Structures are given as C-alpha cells and as structure tokens.
C-alpha cells in the first residue's frame, strides 16, 4: 500500500522511537524528511542514549565499542549527541532524550555480541513500560499522533525493548507503524528470521512511503554519524564507509521495498 503525502501527514504529531542515535536516520530518515518537507516536525525519541553511570565501571565490552568508535568514555555520548544534532537538522526533526542507557552501559548484563543480540535480561522485563512512561505523550495525544517503532530485525536487545513498547502502545489504542531496522535488514537471513516471529504476532507489511524526492537528504543524515559508519557499513555490511558505497547499499534495499522506486516499508498490526 503506497502512502500519499496527505495520508502520511494526517496526524498532527509524528514520534519516532529510535533505540540509538543513528537508528531513525538509517531506517526511517526518508519518511522523516518527507514529513518535514510537508510542514510537519518529526520528533525523535532517543531511548537508550543517556550518559553512562560514573559510579559503574565500564566493562571490557563497552571499552571495545569506544575504541571502535574512536571516542573516549567521557566523549562518547557528547560526541554522538553532536552527530545526532547534525542529522536531525538535515532531516528537519527535533530530538527528545529519554533517561535510559545503552545495553553496554547497563552493568554486567551484556558482555558480548551473543548476549547483546539475544534474549533481553530477565530483570529488564519492565523496561518497555518505563519507556512508554518516559515518552512526551499523554492520553490526549492518542488520536492525533502516530508512533514509529523498530521491528527489531537483528534482535539487538535495545531494539527488542523498544519494539515491545511499540506493541504495547498499539494495544493501548495508538497508531503505530513499525519500521524495518537498517542496517540489520540488509542481511536477508536477519529479515527472514524476524519476519516469521512478527507475523506470528499478527504484524504484516503495510504502508510504503516513497522517498525518491528526499533520498539525498536521507543519505546526508546518515553521513552525519562518522563515528559509526566504519562499524555499520565497513564491518557489518561489508561495503565500506564512503558515501557512494553507503548510497548504493541503502538504495538497493529501498528499491526492493518500493518495487523499483526507493521507498521505506512499514509494518502494522490488526486491532484485536
């Protein structure tokens, strides 16, 4: 179902739940740019972006991430927020920071990639409800807002928590569109594995937002995260971190979602 600008912009508020600093730009930056071009101001709720607790020692796993990003422990969040500010300016979005820390800063729960992309720790079962409580929304916003949440392709524990928050918001009567997490969805096996799980929960592919007109803006926003690009596109995707390589990889996926025309695809759930 291809969505027109009029349908896309129908709600007054558009709130994107972004587990980490680059997730929204990568996965739904085109949609945000279209909204901005049509006079809306996309709101980005940065969920797991708070500063590490100075009283809790960093684990070797967290230190490795800092090394890969080329930032010290003291500079990492400030640096990523500076990157986020540039990306949001390019997309015409505004950022709202929620008071939660990245999984690598939550003590000894996640100490390697298998744990980080596995089952969320049992003592974090209440996190989705806490995320909802921290959002800048109230009951009066329900009928004039659309929430955009990750589908949790790739199964990063933080994405799973935010997906669960999105499902709960849907069950509570909010309109929720679930976006396909990039770069994880660039790996077909990750998309297929997650697809079977979310389809069992009643989700199905739905709205398709054409983003041809704002494609360069989306790539501009992605390029605003230089600390992340070598890890995301060099190590994970394996295409290198130049603008040309990133554009080509992202465009191939977007063209598949749009049946030949670059688009972003969302998933929705039927009402119970």
At 219-265, the pLDDT tens digits run: 999 999 998 999 999 999 999 999 999 999 999 999 999 999 999 99
Mean pLDDT value across the chain = 95
Asked whether 210 and 2 are in contact (CB, 8 A), the reply is yes
The confidence score (pLDDT) of residue 116 equals: 97
Tell me whether strands 94-100 and 43-48 are parallel, antiparallel or unpaired.
Answer: parallel
Tell me the CB-side half-sphere exposure of residue 113, using CA atoms within 13 A: 4
The confidence score (pLDDT) of residue 66 equals: 87
As given in the structure block, the two tokens for residue 263 are: 């688009």
Q: What are the distances in angstroms from CA 212 to CA 16, 50, 202, 265?
A: 20, 34, 30, 13
The confidence score (pLDDT) of residue 192 equals: 92
**68: pLDDT confidence band, cut at 50, 70 and 90?**
confident
Report pTM.
Answer: 0.96
The confidence score (pLDDT) of residue 96 equals: 96
Contacts of 258 (CB under 8 A, 6+ apart): 208, 210, 211, 265
Q: What is the mean pLDDT of residues 121-137?
A: 98
The confidence score (pLDDT) of residue 272 equals: 62
The confidence score (pLDDT) of residue 162 equals: 98
Long-range CB contacts for residues 118-123, cutoff 8 Å, separation at least 24: 118/155, 118/157, 119/157, 120/157, 120/160, 120/161, 121/157
Report which DSSP code applies to 12.
Answer: S
Domains detected in the chain: 5-269 (3.40.50.10320)
Contacts of 71 (CB under 8 A, 6+ apart): 79, 80, 227
- Tens digits of per-residue pLDDT, 175-202? 999 999 999 999 999 999 998 899 999 9
As given in the structure block, the two tokens for residue 223 are: 């390029």
**69: pLDDT confidence band, cut at 50, 70 and 90?**
confident
Q: What is the mean pLDDT of residues 201-219?
A: 96
The confidence score (pLDDT) of residue 47 equals: 98
Q: What is the mean pLDDT of residues 47-58?
A: 92
């Amino acid at each position: 179902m291809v969505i027109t600008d009029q349908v896309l912009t129908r709600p007054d508020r558009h709130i994107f739940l972004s587990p980490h600093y680059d997730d929204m730009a990568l996965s739904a930056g085109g949609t945000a740019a279209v909204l901005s071009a049509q006079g809306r101001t996309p709101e980005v709720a940065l969920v797991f972006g708070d500063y590490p607790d100075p009283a809790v020692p960093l684990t070797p796993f967290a230190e490795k991430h800092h090394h890969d990003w080329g930032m010290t422990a003291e500079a990492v969040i400030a640096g990523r927020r500076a990157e986020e500010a540039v990306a949001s300016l390019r997309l015409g979005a505004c950022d709202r920071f929620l008071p939660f820390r990245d999984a690598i800063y939550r003590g000894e729960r996640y100490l390697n990639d298998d744990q980080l992309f596995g089952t969320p720790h049992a003592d974090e079962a209440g996190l989705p409800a806490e995320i909802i409580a921290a959002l800048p929304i109230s009951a009066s916003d329900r009928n004039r807002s659309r929430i955009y949440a990750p589908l949790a392709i790739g199964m990063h524990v933080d994405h799973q928590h935010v997906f669960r928050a999105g499902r709960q918001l849907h069950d509570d009567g909010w309109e929720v569109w679930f976006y396909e997490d990039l770069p994880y969805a660039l790996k077909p096996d990750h998309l297929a594995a997650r697809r079977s799980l979310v389809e069992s929960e009643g989700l199905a592919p739905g709205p398709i937002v054409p983003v041809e007109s704002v494609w360069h803006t989306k790539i501009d926003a992605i390029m605003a995260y230089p600390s992340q690009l070598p890890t995301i596109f060099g190590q994970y995707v394996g295409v290198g971190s130049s603008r040309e390589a990133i554009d080509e990889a992202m465009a191939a996926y977007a063209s598949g979602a749009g049946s030949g025309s670059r688009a972003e695809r969302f998933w929705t759930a039927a009402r119970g």
